[in-house]
Structure 1
């Protein structure tokens, strides 16, 4: 049964690749990326083997703990990422549960993340090549860590399946997921800088993680290398017990799932017309009300709003990692908060039609003109973007104490917002690319969409940056010279050019929608 399930998953993966050339290209790039990560990790482990055993053990324990946590937590946010062997599909088959469990566990390694994790886990022996006994312990610990990754991941997702099926849970969880994801990079940079300033941080973190389920299997080899056999056995016992408990949880959750199929979400209670009560009964008002409903109820949109409050924190981490925390350089860096927020809001509607998916037919059948469609989407984004961008621009100036730059900062920020909305009005009607479907996780990237998505987003960002250069140059001149004239020029040019690009973008995008409406609908319906 185990071999059969592995062959089944390989067959499903092979058949998926036949659907699109982009999916084949995406898989090839994923394999190359995975091989690159594995190669760099193995080289790093070999180099780590030349350092002191204490340092090697600390780094392996910390990094390994992050890997296990990622295996356990990421599937909760990226629900539906790997459903090729969904246990629900085996409900009608008389497969013994223990065999099904073992088959699903082994099949969980069939894929780029599983193979890379297995290779790197076994490769931890390279960090102990000077100690054969520790290297052997690293093999045992690595295999236990891989088992903990796969079984723990399946246990958490299966046990929490009823919650994962709840739309409200998915919406809240998807938005909350942006917080750790956005802060992961800055936190790593900040931790790296802190470690560089004082090496005493590593032993404390590694010692704590070594007694947790996430770090115990990775810390077995370091205890053996130190000759602490009792400590090694204790950590080994923790790892074995955690894997066993995860297996039991998965077993019971799977048994319950197989006899109690998941139900659909209950209908919510209607509470008026929402945003449709607040906008005039015009085509532009109807489109704006519908889009604002998406912004607050669709996690693919509301995630963009959730990111905005984190931008000041991100800038703070960037300044800290550059070694300018608390200094004048760090304060000057906060001046980009307004333009950066404007860039985020402007870019947010660049895939609006793709996000509509099959619901785009309702707009085509209603006879709404392309310009009204573009204007309504821009209005919805502006209702949120204009006040937030203005407040952030003023707050950044107040934080830096550079009130002489207020006019330039506000002008540049509003100009970038208007320019971004104009550019996105064209891009969303011309450069469509696959996006997560309604109800899917915002982190679920359709297979084969990576290249098309990267191309469309890169073009959008480059055009937006190029059109924002005049106002940005004037604002920068105001910063460097302190002459207020340049600030007023930045305000006039930023708002003036931004308004011009916004109108031109809405008109151009509107013509594209009028001309290519049925083609756009056919294209979004082809995205699976």
Structure 2
């Protein structure tokens, strides 16, 4: 049965790639990137074999610990978890929980990240082959290191997506989990600020990771090569205990999620209550506005995108606290505008097949563009205004305020104009409402990153006049230049916004059925 599921995994992947040429291109590019990365890793490990055993241990244990940590955390916030074999869909198969876990582990190890990790771990033999005692330890510890990384990823994702059993709890947890990860950089930097960070310090600290679950399996060959067999045996026990604990944690959470499936029912509402639909103007644009505003105020998938807003001033203040923290806080408004302005680059994707209602009614594309932008702006504009005004309100000097506000609104309007065009052309795989918040479709990560970066560059280029003049107005403290920057930001941003609504609306009139077909294909994938 495990072999059957693995064949099913590759059959599903093949069908997905065959259905979407661009997804196939993304998969190939991702595979090529992984291959190039492996070439560099293998070359480095070969060279490391001629170095001192202590240096080799420090590098491999440090890098291996980061790999294990990355498997556990990065999929939750960047790339998601490959759910080609989703446990919720496998529940109908005659499988025990243990066999299902074996199948899911092998499926994860057969993906591009799993292959890269496995080959890189196996390639450490190029380093440890110079110390015969390390070879025996390598044979035992290498599978442990790879399995620990893969099982940690599955266990963390399963716990995070299913813990608590209730949909609302999972949605709130899915939002809050990002906060400590975003603040991880400042926290680590703060802890390191009191430590003299140099090569000697790193060489002393990294071996300590070998005594933790992150690096124990990677450190076993290093200790064997150094002749410290008791330490190697102790770390091997730690690695075995870590894998066993992760396996049991995953088993318990997976069994719980299969017995108590995720809740997808909607909350009860008062009879006659139609929410925002009864508070906005009627018409096509008003209906789209009300629906999109409901998403922005109630859908955790949208609320998750607003997490960075209050954290931007915190991060900027932290990194500029020894310089000019006021300038950092002042420029948080343009950065916030850019972050929340660009996230709607593929807004129709979050509608799912509900977008079919709009297509069926013959709604004009221009009305759709206007309604979605009004909803996004209703949330973003107050946040941007607040972020722009608060630093100057506390300082009591409003001379530079027009330049900052002009930059922020110019960037926001420009981003909305660009996204009004791109969202009429693009749909990307996103978690469905109440779905696994960490879901990912193989072959789409690379293309989504390229698309987002390209849109980011276009928006930055179109808003550059407002940004350049705004920076000049801020640092020269010239009131005239500051107001000129404000005017350029408002006029230029509005021009791009209007053009985006008109162009994007015309595009959507012709691409609407095509986008709906893509959304249906994604839902059935």
Provide TM-score, normalisation by structure 2: 0.83
Distance 1:457 1:267 in 2: 32
C-alpha change, 1:91 and 1:434, in structure 2 (3 Å) is closer
Tell me, what secondary structure is at the counterpart of 2:344? coil
1:243-286 Cα offsets, whole Å, 9 max, x none, are 2343445556666666x373643442326544445434554443
Of 502, 505, 514, which aligns to 1:507? 502
Aligned to 1:311: 312
Distance 2:98 2:442 in 1: 31
Of 406, 409, 413, which aligns to 2:404? 409
C-alpha change, 1:315 and 1:399, in structure 2 (3 Å) is farther
Aligned to 2:13: 13
C-alpha change, 1:375 and 1:3, in structure 2 (3 Å) is closer
Aligned to 1:382: 377
Superposition pairs of residues 268-347 of structure 1, within 5 angstroms: 268-270=267-269, 272-276=273-277, 278-281=279-282, 283-315=284-316, 319=319, 326-328=322-324, 332=327, 335-347=330-342
Aligned to 2:389: 394
C-alpha change, 1:210 and 1:274, in structure 2 (3 Å) is farther
1:128-158 Cα offsets, whole Å, 9 max, x none, are 4543323542443222111222334444555
Contact 1:349–1:377 at 8 Å: present in 2 too?
Answer: no
Contact 2:30–2:446 at 8 Å: present in 1 too?
Answer: no
Of 358, 374, 395, which aligns to 2:353? 358
Q: CA deviation at 1:237?
A: 0.9
Range 488-497 or range 371-380, more displaced: 371-380
Aligned pair count reads: 520
1:428-452 Cα offsets, whole Å, 9 max, x none, are 22x2232315334565454444576
C-alpha change, 1:426 and 1:30, in structure 2 (3 Å) is closer
Aligned to 1:114: 114
C-alpha change, 1:244 and 1:347, in structure 2 (3 Å) is closer
Range 352-361 or range 166-175, more displaced: 166-175
Superposition pairs of residues 189-268 of structure 1, within 5 angstroms: 197-199=197-199, 201-202=201-202, 205-250=205-250, 260=259, 262=261, 264-268=263-267
Q: CA deviation at 1:306?
A: 1.0
Contact 1:411–1:494 at 8 Å: present in 2 too?
Answer: yes
Q: CA deviation at 1:339?
A: 1.7
Contact 2:161–2:437 at 8 Å: present in 1 too?
Answer: no
C-alpha change, 1:6 and 1:233, in structure 2 (3 Å) is same
1:220-248 Cα offsets, whole Å, 9 max, x none, are 23333443322221111111122234344
C-alpha change, 1:84 and 1:334, in structure 2 (3 Å) is same
C-alpha change, 1:289 and 1:12, in structure 2 (3 Å) is closer
Two-structure CA RMSD over aligned residues (Å) = 3.8
Q: CA deviation at 1:65?
A: 2.4
Aligned to 2:149: 149
Tell me, what secondary structure is at the counterpart of 1:350? coil
C-alpha change, 1:222 and 1:478, in structure 2 (3 Å) is same
Distance 2:179 2:467 in 1: 29
Tell me, what secondary structure is at the counterpart of 1:210? helix
Q: CA deviation at 1:356?
A: 1.8
Q: CA deviation at 1:514?
A: 4.4
Contact 1:412–1:490 at 8 Å: present in 2 too?
Answer: yes
Distance 2:181 2:467 in 1: 29
Contact 2:101–2:251 at 8 Å: present in 1 too?
Answer: yes
Unaligned runs of 5+ in 2: none
Aligned to 1:488: 483
Distance 1:515 1:28 in 2: 30
Unaligned runs of 5+ in 1: none
Aligned to 2:171: 171
Distance 2:471 2:97 in 1: 66
Contact 1:408–1:488 at 8 Å: present in 2 too?
Answer: yes
Of 432, 435, 451, which aligns to 1:438? 432
Tell me, what secondary structure is at the counterpart of 2:124? helix
Q: CA deviation at 1:490?
A: 0.7
C-alpha change, 1:374 and 1:84, in structure 2 (3 Å) is closer
Q: CA deviation at 1:391?
A: 2.4
Distance 1:442 1:452 in 2: 20
Distance 2:189 2:160 in 1: 32
C-alpha change, 1:142 and 1:352, in structure 2 (3 Å) is same
Aligned to 2:25: 25
Aligned to 2:67: 67
Distance 1:472 1:161 in 2: 40
Q: CA deviation at 1:464?
A: 2.3
